[in-house]
Amino acid sequence: MSWQFDPQHLQTLEAVVRLGSFAGAAEEIGYTQSAVSQQLAELERRVGARVVTRRPVRPTEVGHVLLSAAGAIGASMSRARTELAALAEGSIGRVRLGAFISAASSFVPFALARLRAEHPGVHIVLREVEQSETYALLARGILDLAITFDYEHAPDTIPAGIVRERLMDDPIMVVLPADHALASRGSVPLDAVAPDAWIVTQVSAGEQLSDAAASTADERNHLDFQGQDFRTALNLVAAGLGVALLPRLLLKDPPKGVAVRELAPHQRIVRRLFTCRMETSGVPVPIQRLQHHLRDSAASY
């Protein structure tokens, strides 16, 4: 005896019992009456018992069990259709966004808030990631969308299969204690800063920034900052411990005691921000909407 059977046979059984007629079920389903009879005969063969009485057409005890199963299958299919339609229009689903720290702490929250207001049924995951691991996380399907960066003078090599869209330019600024002698200038050349005043910052996939600062420094540095969070370096400057090169993205509301100045024009450094995702034939609506909100949020930040 085999308990494996075709769900279509359950649907046929449901139509026969509901309509009380093999002929009526055949007309509704679009089969011949003979085909309906054959399907129920096959179902009965597989379960080893009658599922309906013929005159009148009524379900047997076994038939009632199968009708319950048919109802559960029908409900599941109905939910699946509803959920698939909702996914197509973006009302439910999941979006997993990866972003480096300075993006995640600045304009990203505003974009996520807009997505949440627009599609409250979408589950949002924000993961702070290092630049060096971003592409691998996309390729492995752990992230749906990511924010990455490179530098205008040192473009990044994009792996095959990644689609990248420009978000914004983020100039690198000179950040000094407010009482520093150079704070009165409109722009600051790197070589105007005393070598021992630099707080040398390290950034993943962008060590050219450190090199740019370190090129004027030597072993007399008072403070060599070893960390990934630019906010720490910003607070070190505010405490009067030195001068640092930091992205403008983090300097919208600098702490008291800090002066922010542009680099000298001939030494301009620009960090470029992008959204990245895997190249696919179609993009789910929530991801499309989040990309749109990220562009708007970055543009207005």
Q: How far apart are alpha carbons 236 and 118 in whole angstroms? A: 39
Q: What class does CATH assign to 169-271?
A: alpha beta
For 290, other C-beta atoms within 10 Å of its C-beta total 26
Q: Reply yes or no on whether the pLDDT at 203 is more than 50.
A: no
The two tokens of residue 148 are 């990455």
Give phi and psi for 203, each to the nearest 5: -130, 135
pTM as predicted: 0.70
Please list the residue range(s) of the chain that carry CATH number 1.10.10.10: 7-89
Please list the residue range(s) of the chain that carry CATH number 3.40.190.10: 92-164+274-300, 169-271
Collapsing DSSP states into helix, strand and coil, what is residue 279? coil
Structure confidence at residue 279 (pLDDT): 87
Structure confidence at residue 264 (pLDDT): 92
Domain covering 92-164+274-300, topology: D-Maltodextrin-Binding Protein; domain 2 (3.40.190)
Element (H, E) at 99: strand 92-99
Report pLDDT digits (tens) over 217-267: 455 555 677 776 788 889 999 999 889 888 999 898 888 899 999 999 988
Give which of 275, 269, 224 is closest to 247, Cα–Cα.
269
Q: How far apart are alpha carbons 234 and 257 in whole angstroms? A: 10
Give Cβ neighbours of residue 35 (< 8 Å, ≥ 6 apart). Answer: 26
Q: Reply yes or no on whether the pLDDT at 204 is more than 50.
A: no
Report pLDDT digits (tens) over 136-155: 999 888 999 999 999 988 88
Report pLDDT digits (tens) over 65-97: 998 888 888 777 767 776 776 777 777 788 999
Q: How far apart are alpha carbons 46 and 56 in whole angstroms? A: 23
Give which of 156, 260, 141 is closest to 203, Cα–Cα.
156
The CATH number of the structural domain formed by 7-89 is 1.10.10.10
Element (H, E) at 128: strand 121-128
